[in-house]
Amino acid sequence: MVYYNQNSQHKIVFHGFPTLEDGSSLAGYSALISAHGLKVPVPDHLCAIGTKHKKYNYERWRIFTPRHKPRHTLNGHLVFALKYEGVDLTVLNALFKKIEPKEIKEIILSEPTGRYSRRLWFLWEWLHDEQLDIEDVKMGNFVPLIDSKLQYSGKSYPSKRHRVRNNLPGTRNFSPLIRKTEKLEKFIGKKLSETAIKNIGETHPDLLSRAAAFLLLKDSKASYTIEGETPPHNRIERWGRAIGEAGKRKISVSELEYLQQIVIEDDRFITPGLRKEGGFVGEHDRTTGMPMPDHISAVADDLNILLSGLIDTYELLCEDDFDTVLLATIFAFGFVFIHPFEDGNGRIHRYLFHHVLAEKNFVPKGLIFPVSAVILARIEEYRKTLEYFSKPRLDFIEWRPTEKNNVEVLNETIDLYRYFDATKQAEFFFECVEETVNKMLPEEVAYLKKHDILNEFIKNYIDMPDKLVDLLIRFLSQNDGKLSKRSRKREFEKLTDDEIQAIEKKYAEIYE
Query: Concatenated DSSP letters for 409-475?
Result: E-S--HHHHHS-B-HHHHHHHHHHHHHIIIIIHHHHHHHHHHHHHHHHHHHHHS---HHHHHHHHHH
Rounded-to-10 torsion of CA 116, 119, 123, 125: 110
Query: How far apart are the C-alpha atoms of 71 and 27, rounded to whole Å?
Result: 9
Could you say which architecture CATH assigns to the domain 182-424?
Answer: Orthogonal Bundle (1.10)
Query: How far apart are the C-alpha atoms of 111 and 8, rounded to whole Å?
Result: 31
**Residue 300: strand, helix, or coil:** helix
156: Cβ contacts below 8 Å, ≥ 6 apart: 144, 165, 166, 167
**Residue 141: strand, helix, or coil:** coil
Give the burial string for 149-174 (b: 16+ CB within 10 Å, else e): ebbbbbeeeebeebbbbbbbbbbbbb
Boundaries of every domain in the chain: 1-90, 100-168, 182-424, 462-511
Return averaged pLDDT per consecutive 10 residues of the chain, 512 residues in all: 55 72 88 96 94 89 95 96 97 96 94 94 96 92 96 95 96 97 96 85 73 80 87 86 89 95 83 92 90 95 98 95 96 98 94 93 78 90 96 96 94 96 98 91 84 90 88 90 89 89 92 80
Query: How far apart are the C-alpha atoms of 369 and 437, rounded to whole Å?
Result: 9
Question: Angle at the Cα of 510 (from 504 to 512), degrees rounded to 5?
Answer: 85
Query: How far apart are the C-alpha atoms of 496 and 179, rounded to whole Å?
Result: 64
| pLDDT at res. 143 | 97
Query: How far apart are the C-alpha atoms of 111 and 115, rounded to whole Å?
Result: 9
Query: How far apart are the C-alpha atoms of 240 and 237, rounded to whole Å?
Result: 5
Question: At 314, phi and psi to the nearest 5?
Answer: -60, -45
Cα–chain center distance at 270: 27
Query: How far apart are the C-alpha atoms of 235 and 241, rounded to whole Å?
Result: 10
Question: At 341, phi and psi to the nearest 5?
Answer: -110, 160
pTM: 0.91
Query: How far apart are the C-alpha atoms of 72 and 422, rounded to whole Å?
Result: 30
**Residue 53: strand, helix, or coil:** coil
223: Cβ contacts below 8 Å, ≥ 6 apart: 239, 346, 347, 350, 351, 372
Q: Is 361 left (phi over 0), alpha (psi -120 to 50) or beta?
A: left
